[in-house]
């Protein structure tokens, strides 16, 4: 795009929230651009094997659902820009968004939908073995562990979904959770209990990940050692807001303070999807956030 051009809305992020915002903003006849960190991205949903709670689809592969969202935006003529937004300034009601490659895009409103990234466990060995037995995405890397033993760490929906997915590939899957009760859905816990090759280990805290060239075992704080070739870490997400300090109000855990309208503490800066303060982080709420934020942005621009 022309560097002197000022867009109506710059949407940051091409997950379900960003794509929904793009569809609504485009249909409201606004000039928009979607900036995305990864070429042809659809967000975290692409890493989800099966989505079975998005209305209208009792079972759909996450990648396929993401592609359907993206095609919808593309069919409307939405344009995309690949870049990592790392600076935000506002002068005379115009937002200047700076990107890591040195480019700047200007817009009268920003809808920020950058989502969240995988939290790390923080134990010894974890960083050393990333890509050599430590993974944060079962759907992306699970195939490397076909016929082998793997551990999944976490007790939320991601960990439960990962364990279910891996149970169809791996010889044995250990699900390691630090408490007795699971945070994720009871239905998934039940399905895992019915799997013969899944062992659920609760009240267990990982101490370190051991290996040679690649991972060989997971050590627990109680002294147990679990021999595995793969360790899938699914201990939650961290909002991608590191460049927003001082730009917009964040809560104590880094999420952008905003309700379902997407309105934030900074005029003309809207937040949608997993990156904002909310109770339920799901595809359906991300999509609804995107729609709301686009409508809020359109109102603001009037």
Active site residue ranges: 137, 140-141
Window 263-282: contact mask with ligand NAP (x via CB under 6 A) = ------------------xx
Distance from C-alpha of 108 to C-alpha of 128, rounded to nearest angstrom:
44
Distance from C-alpha of 114 to C-alpha of 101, rounded to nearest angstrom:
18
Does 154 bind ligand NAP (CB under 6 A)? Our answer is yes
Considering only the stretches 88-96, 132-140, 153-161, 209-217, report the one whose residues sit in contact with ligand NAP under the rule CB under 6 A. 153-161
Mapping DSSP to helix (H, G, I), strand (E, B) and coil, where does residue 101 land?
Answer: coil
Distance from C-alpha of 13 to C-alpha of 294, rounded to nearest angstrom:
13
Does 157 bind ligand NAP (CB under 6 A)? Our answer is yes
Does 285 bind ligand NAP (CB under 6 A)? Our answer is no
Closest to ligand NAP by CB, 18 vs 156, is 156
Determine the angle formed by the axes of helices 16-27 and 283-301, rounding to 10 degrees. 40
Closest to ligand NAP by CB, 218 vs 250, is 218
Where residue 75 falls (left for φ over 0; alpha for ψ -120 to 50; beta otherwise) is: alpha
Closest to ligand NAP by CB, 53 vs 288, is 53
Report how many residues bind ligand NAP under the rule CB under 6 A. 22
Does 178 bind ligand NAP (CB under 6 A)? Our answer is yes
Window 9-48: contact mask with ligand NAP (x via CB under 6 A) = ---------------------------------------x
| H and E: helices and strands count for the chain | 6, 19
- Per the DSSP assignment, residues forming a β-bridge with 80 are 34
Q: Which of residues 75-134 bind ligand NAP (CB under 6 A)?
A: 121
Does 53 bind ligand NAP (CB under 6 A)? Our answer is yes
Where residue 17 falls (left for φ over 0; alpha for ψ -120 to 50; beta otherwise) is: alpha
Q: Which of residues 188-247 bind ligand NAP (CB under 6 A)?
A: 234-237
Tokens of 19: 């794509």
Does 155 bind ligand NAP (CB under 6 A)? Our answer is yes
The contact set with ligand NAP (CB under 6 A) reads: 48, 51, 53, 121, 153-159, 161, 178-179, 183-184, 234-237, 281-282
């Amino acid at each position: 795009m022309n560097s002197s051009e000022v867009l109506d809305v710059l949407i940051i992020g091409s997950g379900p929230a960003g794509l929904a915002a793009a569809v609504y903003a485009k249909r409201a006849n606004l000039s928009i651009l979607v900036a995305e960190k990864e070429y042809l991205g659809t967000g975290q949903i692409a890493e989800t094997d099966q989505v079975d709670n998005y209305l209208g689809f009792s079972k759909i592969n996450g990648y396929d659902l993401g592609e359907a969202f993206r095609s919808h935006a593309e069919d409307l003529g939405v344009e995309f820009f690949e870049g990592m937004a790392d600076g935000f300034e506002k002068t005379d009601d115009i937002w200047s968004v700076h990107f890591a490659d040195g480019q700047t895009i200007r817009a009268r409103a920003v809808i920020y939908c950058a989502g969240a990234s995988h939290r790390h466990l923080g134990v010894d060995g974890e960083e050393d073995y990333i890509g050599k037995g430590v993974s944060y995405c079962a759907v992306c890397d699970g195939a490397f562990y076909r016929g082998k033993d793997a551990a999944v760490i976490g007790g939320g929906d991601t960990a439960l979904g990962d364990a279910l997915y891996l149970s169809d590939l791996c010889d044995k899957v250990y699900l390691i959770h630090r408490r007795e009760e699971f945070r994720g859905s009871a239905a998934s816990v039940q399905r895992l209990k019915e799997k013969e090759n899944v062992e659920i280990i609760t009240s267990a805290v990982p101490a370190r990940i051991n290996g040679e060239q690649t991972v060989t075992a997971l050590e627990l704080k109680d002294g147990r050692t679990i021999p595995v070739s793969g360790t899938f870490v699914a201990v939650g997400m961290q909002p991608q807001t590191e460049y927003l300090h001082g730009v917009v109000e964040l809560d104590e855990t880094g999420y952008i303070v905003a309700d379902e309208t997407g309105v934030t503490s900074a005029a003309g800066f809207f937040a949608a999807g997993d990156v904002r303060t909310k109770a339920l982080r799901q595809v359906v709420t991300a999509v609804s956030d995107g729609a709301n934020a686009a409508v809020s942005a359109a109102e603001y621009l009037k």
